Amino acid sequence: MSLRILVGVKRVIDYAVKIRVKPDKSGVITEGVKHSMNPFDEIAIEEAVRMKEKKIAKEIVAFSCGPAQCQETLRTALAMGADRGIHVEVAGPQYETLQPLHISKMLAKLAKDEQIDIIIVGKQAIDDDCNQTAQMTAALLDWPQATSASKIEAKDGSLQVVREIDGGLETIKVKLPTVVSADLRLNEPRYATLPNIMKAKKKPIKKLTPKDLGVDVSPRIQIVTVEEPPVRLAGAKVENVDMVVEKLKALGHA
Amino acid sequence: QSTLVLAEHNNGKLNPVTLSAITAAQKVGGTVSCLVAGTKCGSIVEQLSKATGITKILVAENANLHGLLPEPLAPLIVATQQQFGFTHILAGASAFGKTVLPRVAALLDVSPISDVTAITNSDTFVRTIYAGNAVLTLKSNDGVKVITIRPTSFPAAPMGDVIASSEASTQTVNSSPNSEFIGQELTKSDRPELSSAKVVVSGGRGLKSGENFELLYKLADKMGAAVGASRAAVDAGFVSNDLQVGQTGKILAPELYIAVGISGAIQHLAGMKDSKTIVAINKDPEAPIFQVADIGLVADLFAAVPELTEKIGKK
Convert the pLDDT of each residue in B21-63 to its tens digit: 999 999 999 999 999 999 999 999 999 999 999 999 999 999 9
Q: Do A242 and B311 touch (CB under 8 A)?
A: yes
B74 inside 8 A of chain A by CB: yes
Determine the Cα–Cα distance for residues A212 and A7; give it in Å rounded to an integer: 19
Classify residue B296 as exposed, middle or buried by CB count within 10 Å of its CB (0-12, 13-18, 19+). buried
Name the amino acid, one letter, at A169: L
**Is residue B85 a contact partner of residue B99, using CB atoms and an 8 Å limit?**
no
Q: Mutate which of A150, A165, A183, A185 to disrupt the B interface (most B C-beta within 10 Å)?
A: A165
Domain positions in chain A: 3-250
Of B94, B130, B135, the CB nearest to A127: B130
How many residue pairs from chains A and B have C-beta atoms closer than 8 A? 236
Q: Tell which residue, A222, A176, A223, has the closest CA to residue A26.
A: A223
Q: Which residues of B touch A129 (CB under 8 A)?
A: 114-115, 128-131, 247
Residues of A with Cβ-Cβ distance to B281 under 8 angstroms:
244
What is the average per-residue pLDDT within B81-85? 98
β-bridge partners, B245: B250
A68-103 pLDDT, tens digit per residue, is 999 999 999 999 999 999 999 999 999 999 999 999
Residues of A in contact with B141 (CB under 8 A): 219-222
CA distance A199 to chain B (A): 31
Residues of B in contact with A245 (CB under 8 A): 308, 311-312, 314
CB contact under 8 A, A234 and B293: yes
Mean pLDDT of B195-202: 91
As a whole number of angstroms, the distance between CA A130 and CA A133 comes to 8
State the nearest Cα–Cα gap between A223 and chain B, in angstroms: 5
The two counts, helices (H) then strands (E), for chain B are 8, 15
C-alpha distances out from residue B160 to A15, B2, B12, B29, B47, Å: 46, 21, 21, 20, 11
Distance between first and last Cα of chain B: 55
The reported pLDDT for the residue numbered A81 is 98
Decide if B195 contacts A166 (C-beta within 8 A).
yes
Global ipTM: 0.95
Judging contacts by C-beta atoms under 8 Å, the chain A residues touching residue B99 are: 135, 145, 147-148
Report the percent of chain A where pLDDT is more than 70. 99
B290 touches chain A (CB under 8 A): yes
Contact B65, B6 (CB under 8 A): no
Q: Is B9 left (phi over 0), alpha (psi -120 to 50) or beta?
A: beta
The pLDDT value recorded for residue B247 is 80
User: For residue B315, is pLDDT > 60?
Assistant: no
| Rounded distance between C-alpha atoms, residue B262 and residue B227, angstroms | 13
Average of pLDDT values for A130-145? Answer: 98
pLDDT at B187 over 90: no
**Residues making up chain A, counted from first to last:** 254
Domain A3-250 of CATH type 3.40.50.720: no
Query: What is the tens place of the pLDDT at every residue in A182-230?
Result: 998 899 999 999 999 999 999 999 999 999 999 999 999 999 999 999 8
Does the pLDDT at position B98 exceed 80? yes
pLDDT in the model for residue B314: 65
By CB atoms closer than 10 A (0-12, 13-18, 19+), residue A98 is buried
Q: What is the mean pLDDT of residues A55-75?
A: 97
CB A29 within 8 A of CB A1: no
**What are the tens digits of pLDDT across the range B246-303?**
987 888 989 999 999 999 998 899 899 889 999 999 999 999 999 999 999 999 999 9
* Residue-wise pLDDT tens digits, A149-195: 999 999 889 999 999 998 889 999 999 999 999 998 899 999 999 99
Dihedral pair phi/psi, residue A238, rounded to 5°: -115, 165
Which residues in chain A are closer than 8 Å to B252, comparing Cβ atoms? Answer: none
Task: Say what the pLDDT of residue B95 is.
Answer: 94
Check CB contact under 8 Å for B69 and A172: yes
Mean pLDDT across chain A: 95
Which residues of chain B are within 8 Å of residue A96 when distances are taken between CB atoms? none
At residue B166, the pLDDT reads 95
Distance CA B257, CA B274 (A): 10
Residue of B nearest to A100 (CA): B111
Q: What is the pTM of this model?
A: 0.93
Closest by CA to A49, choosing from A154, A190, A182, A195, is A190
B136/A21 CB distance under 8 A: no
- Residue B126's φ and ψ, nearest 5 degrees, are -115, 135
State yes or no: pLDDT of B6 exceeds 90.
yes
Does the pLDDT at position A49 exceed 80? Answer: yes
Q: Do residue A174 and residue B179 have CB atoms under 8 angstroms apart?
A: yes
B134 touches chain A (CB under 8 A): yes
